[in-house]
Amino acid sequence: MKAIEEFVMDMSLMGYSENTIKNYKNTVENFLKHVSKPYTKVREKDIKKYMFKLQKEKNLSLKSLYRYLSAIKCFYSTKKIKTADNIKLPKLSKNLPVFLNYGEIRDLLNSVDNLRDKLIIQLLYATGLRVSELCNLNVDDIEEEKIFVHLGKGSKDRVVFMDENTKKLLEEYIRNRKGEEKALILNKNGKRISQRSIQNIIKKYAKKAKINKKITPHTLRHTFATHMLQNDADIVVIKDLLGHSNLSTTQIYTHVTNKYKEDVYRKSHPLSKKNL
């Protein structure tokens, strides 16, 4: 369908990840197949019936239902049609994001024995980039200690920064790499690296570092934000560095740091340790 092809193109231009584009495309295709009518003829009740069917017949969790509804809403939003705008689901309780403590991030970096792989992990931690944004970076996007992120999620360009050590690591990698000149991070064939490859790299070194947490590229983004807050960075600045549209999205990290502070207190205060 032409409408689906345009939807895929719109999501790509908005900076959605490869996995999200694939999942949203499949969801919308299945939905339109189920209702058996052109998308312009679909009404709010059709979407509600479909969500009810998913809930009852497939016994999907609320989190899964949100993913289905998000895909359908995104599709109609790109078509400038308000059919799905008023459909609501119960509020989803937010799980606190997983992040690495200082010892864990040190162990992870120290476990890497490959220049490119170390750069990948260090860049994600140093900048808070999404994995899709890192994959899409070109050499021309680097200027001294600044990285210009183009067409990130929601089509919002932004600038992120890196420390001097990460900058030197990046310069060393560019000097020594072989292959396509445009893309910044390359695979073993000299082509632009994929998100899946980066996920596997991080999984490999997390296992090597014996970190007993589920570590993904997004974990390093969470770690970046959490450590910035722990070191008294302004939450509005963190919001801009992460490329969040709304401050409420960033504020989840305040709950993480409050939990961290409570844990430190429980472990450290003499009364908590029953030393008095």
User: Which listed residue (25, 167, 203, 244) is catalytic?
Assistant: 244
**Residue 148, strand partner residues:** 159
**Which entry of 73, 156, 208, 218 is annotated as an active-site residue?**
218
The verdict on whether 34 is a catalytic residue reads no
pLDDT in tens, 165-194: 999 999 999 999 887 679 999 998 889 999
* pTM score: 0.66
Catalytic residue among 16, 39, 118, 153: 153
Is 218 designated active site? yes
The catalytic position among 118, 130, 222, 239 is: 130
Q: Once rounded to an integer, what is the mean pLDDT over residues 129-137?
A: 93
Choosing from 221, 222, 227, 239, which is the catalytic residue? 221
CATH number, domain 2-78, options 3.90.79.10, 3.40.50.10860, 1.10.3720.10, 1.10.150.130: 1.10.150.130
Above 80 in pLDDT, residue 274?
no
Domain definitions of the chain by residue range? 2-78, 102-267
Secondary structure letter of residue 213 according to DSSP: S
The CATH superfamily label for domain 102-267 reads Intergrase catalytic core (1.10.443.10)
**80 assigned to active site:** no
Answer whether 255's CB lies under 8 Å from 95's CB. Answer: no
Q: Is 161 helix (H, G, I), strand (E, B) or coil?
A: strand
Per the annotation, the verdict on 116 as an active-site residue is no
DSSP string, 1-62: -HHHHHHHHHHHHTT--HHHHHHHHHHHHHHHHHHTS-GGG--HHHHHHHHHHHHHHS---H
> Residues 205-233: pLDDT tens digits?
999 999 998 899 999 999 999 999 888 88
